[in-house]
Copies of this chain bind each other. A is one copy, B any other.
Amino acid sequence: MFKINENYLKLPGSYLFSTIGKKVAAYAEAHPDKRLIRLGIGDVTQPLAPAIIRALHAAVDEMGSRETFRGYAPDLGYDFLRTAIAENDYKSRGCDISADEIFVSDGAKCDCSNIQEIFGQDNRIAVCDPVYPVYVDSNVMAGRAGEWIPEKEMFSNVIYMPCTMDNDFVPAFPKETPDMIYLCYPNNPTGATLTKAQLQDWVDYANRVGAVILYDAAYEAYISEENVPHSIFECEGARTCAIEFRSFSKNAGFTGVRLGFTVVPRDLKCGDVSLHSLWARRHGTKYNGAPYIIQRAGEAVYSPEGKAELKEQVAYYMKNAHVIYEGLKSAGYTVAGGVNAPYIWLKTPEGMDSWKFFDYLLETANVVGTPGSGFGPSGEGYFRLTAFGTYENTVEAIERIKKL
C-alpha cells in the first residue's frame, strides 16, 4: 500500500493567507452592507505599465505567426532577459554577477520553496522570527524542520532568530550554528532593512561557519535610503555563500503575471560540487521555463520607458506607505517599516493579541490586515498593513482607524 509524505501532516493549520481569506469571506457574507478595505495580502492593485502591455501584445503576435513562433524556452531563461537582469540589477551596482548565473522562473515563491531540495536532509535552517511562512513550511514538507511544538508555536529543529522592536528587527547571530540561513531584506513582514555593513557581517559570518544565505530581495525596488544594499552581492564574499531571489511581482506588478529569478553564483560550492550545477539540473528536470511572452514583458521592465513608468508605480505605493505610517503614528500607534518597504509593522494597542486586533479592525473599521503572529511567535502583538491598495482606499482606511 502506498504511503504519503507524513511531514505534510506536521504543518499546523492552513496557509496563513488562506485562513485570512476565509475569515474575511465569512465576515463579508454576514455584512453585505460594509465596504471592506483590504490591506492584508501583499497583492498589487495598479495595472501593468504601458511599456509592459506593449511588450506583451508584441510577443503574443509573434506567437501567432509561423515565422516568429517560439516553442520550449531555454530551461534557464532567454538570453535577452538574463542579460538585461545582469546589466541592470547587478553590473550597474558593481556586483560581479554574469547572465549565466541567473535562473529565470515563474516567481520567487516557487524558487524560495524549491531551493531547499538541492540541500542535504540534515542541514539545520535558521529563520528570522517573524518570517514569510514559505521558508519554514517548505522545509517542514521536506522533513528538515523537526516536530511542531504547539505550546511554543515553533518547530523543534528550526533555529528562530527573534526580530522585535528591542533589536530594531535585526537578528543577532544565533547561538546554534545553522547550515542554511534565510534572510529577507527589505523585510516581509516588518519592513525593516539592513545597512550594507550589517549585511556584510552576515556574509562574513556565513563564510566563517560554512553556511549558505538564502537571500530574498523581492522588495529591493522600495529601498529609498542610500546605505541600504539592493543585493547581497554588493557585499564582499557573497559569491561563496549566497543565493539571491528576486521577483517582478512588487516592482512591476507581476503578481498575476508570474516572473522571478534566482542568482546562484558559480563560486558557491560544497566540496567540488557547485550549487549552480545542482540548481540547473533541477530546472532542467522539473521545470520547462517561463512563458516566452512573459519573459518579453520582463525585458520591458528594463527599457527606458518601463523604468520610468515603474518608478512612478513604486512611488505611488510608497505614498500609501507614508500615509499609513504617518497616520498611525499621529493616532498614537508604535509603527515601523514603510520607509524602504511597502509594509508597515505596528504594535497592537494595549497589548491586544494579533488575531484579536485582526478581528477588531475587521469588525470596527472594516479594514483587513495581517496578524503578526501568523508570521511566527515573535510576531505576536504586532500587525502588518500593506501599501499595495489604491491611494483612495489607503487614505480612507487610515481615517477609519484614526476614528476608533
The residue that A256 contacts in the complex, of B109, B114, B278, B292, with Cβ under 8 A, is B292
Decide yes or no: A256 and B72 within 8 Å by CB, A11-B281, A287-B110 being known contacts. yes
A167 CB within 8 Å of chain B: no
Residues in chain B near residue A286, CB distance under 8 A: 109-110, 113-114, 134, 138, 141
Residues in chain B near residue A118, CB distance under 8 A: 4-5, 8
Residues in chain B near residue A14, CB distance under 8 A: 281, 284
Bound CA span A309–B287, Å? 28
The residue that A72 contacts in the complex, of B2, B43, B119, B212, with Cβ under 8 A, is B43
* Nearest chain B CB to A134 CB, angstrom units: 6
A315 CB within 8 Å of chain B: no
User: 1/0 contact trace for A273-284 toward B, CB 8 Å?
Assistant: 101001001101
A147 CB within 8 Å of chain B: no
Q: Which of A72, A270, A282 has the most CB of B within 10 A?
A: A72
Q: Which of A105-124 contact B (CB under 8 A)?
A: 106-107, 109-110, 113-114, 117-123
Residues in chain B near residue A304, CB distance under 8 A: none
Bound CA span A110–B137, Å? 20
The answer to whether A3 touches B122 (Cβ under 8 A) is yes
Q: Which of A270-304 contact B (CB under 8 A)?
A: 270, 273, 275, 278, 281-282, 284-294
Q: Which residue of B lies closest to A67 (CB)?
A: B47
Residues in chain B near residue A253, CB distance under 8 A: 69, 71
The residue that A211 contacts in the complex, of B2, B15, B258, with Cβ under 8 A, is B2
Decide yes or no: A4 and B270 within 8 Å by CB, A47-B66, A72-B43 being known contacts. yes
User: 1/0 contact trace for A57-72 toward B, CB 8 Å?
Assistant: 1001101111001111
The 7 tightest CB contacts between A and B, nearest first, are A3-B120, A1-B210, A2-B179, A43-B71, A53-B64, A113-B286, A47-B69
Known A46-B66, A70-B256; 17 more pairs at CB < 8 Å: A1-B210, A2-B120, A2-B210, A3-B120, A4-B118, A8-B118, A14-B281, A18-B284, A47-B69, A56-B63, A63-B257, A73-B256, A110-B287, A110-B288, A138-B286, A256-B289, A293-B293
